[in-house]
Amino acid sequence: MPSRVEDYEVLYTIGSGSYGKCQKIKRKSDGKILVWKELDYGTMAESEKQMLVSEVNLLRELKHPNIVRYYDRIIDRTNTTLYIVMEYCEGGDLASLINSCIKEMCYLDEQFILRVMAQLTLALKECHRRRDGRTTVLHRDLKPANVFLDIRQNVKLGDFGLAKILSHETSYAMTFVGTPYYMSPDYLRPSVESILQSSLLAHVVSEEQREAQLQLRRRSADSDCALNRVAEQAPPCAAELRLKEQALREREKALKEREERLEQMEKELCVREQQSNEKLARAETLLKYYNRLQQQRDLAPLYSKDIDVENLSPGRMKVHSELMLMRLKAVNLRPH
């Protein structure tokens, strides 16, 4: 059964734009927290509607841990409104995190930057080299504002509104769209290596994190001069791109190995802690036995050290033997 708007509860609005808004919602059936894009397609031009349809179709097809997950779409034809239900990213977006660091005069941790770079590269790899054999996807507007973070600070690549689908026979995208200061030289001067252009965009995103104090304050409207300078530069060769990709893979492998070592150390510490707790419990038990024995010795002359063991009845002999065994255990616990 298709979902309805009534199946969700709107919690609050995260942001809004000229065509709609993004809201945090709760699915009434199970209480799951999600977000939806509420878009008024009635006022859109045909090209914008096509871009919207393209984004919905892409989100439905792209399934990867580092790509924002698509859940559902709801079409309200009466109000010409489209609702795109997606995964909620509790950590916000990377641009907000960078701006926060700039205001607080602090730097992002280098390990965090490396993890973001590695996960972002994996997301782009899924777009460029689809595991299901489908057509290649170029994001074409990769920037910190479109890189989201979950509650554990893992990357979730989103906002595929400007994405371009390439068939296997197509060498490069000729249309000129996106955010100028995040475009790669390959994109400004198309070449056979342009299919890897988003990897360079990822490098720009990483550098902005590393140099957060040098925030990019310029606007796209003032980008003509910068675009001309970038267009005159020779694009990096395919071999250089492959070396960068290999280096990223090695870093990701090293991070995984380090994570495995830490997990192993954590398991060993848990075992040691359990053994220590067991020893402590045994010591406490023996101490209780020892205290009980001392009390019985003080209250019952029958259990004194000078007792005539040979004249005891079988029942008393058994009690006496148990008490002597407890004494020996207590003596073994004393420090020497």
Beta bridge partners of 38: 21, 83
Quick check: 195 and 166 in contact, CB under 8 A?
yes
Quick check: 215 and 99 in contact, CB under 8 A?
yes
Spell out the long-range contacts of 17-23 with Cβ–Cβ below 8 A and sequence spacing 24 or more: 19/43, 19/44, 19/48, 20/81
Distance between alpha carbon 224 and the CA centroid of its chain, in Å? Answer: 37
Quick check: 173 and 186 in contact, CB under 8 A?
no
Which 3 state secondary structure label does DSSP give 283? helix
SS (H, E, C) 47-72: HHHHHHHHHHHHHHHCCCCCECCEEE
Nearest one of 186, 212, 190 to 201, comparing CA atoms: 186
Nearest one of 49, 48, 39, 46 to 19, comparing CA atoms: 39
Render 94-158 in DSSP notation, one character per residue: HHHHHHHHHHHT----HHHHHHHHHHHHHHHHHHHS-TT---EEE-S--SGGGEEE-TT--EEE-
Which active-site residues does the annotation give? 141
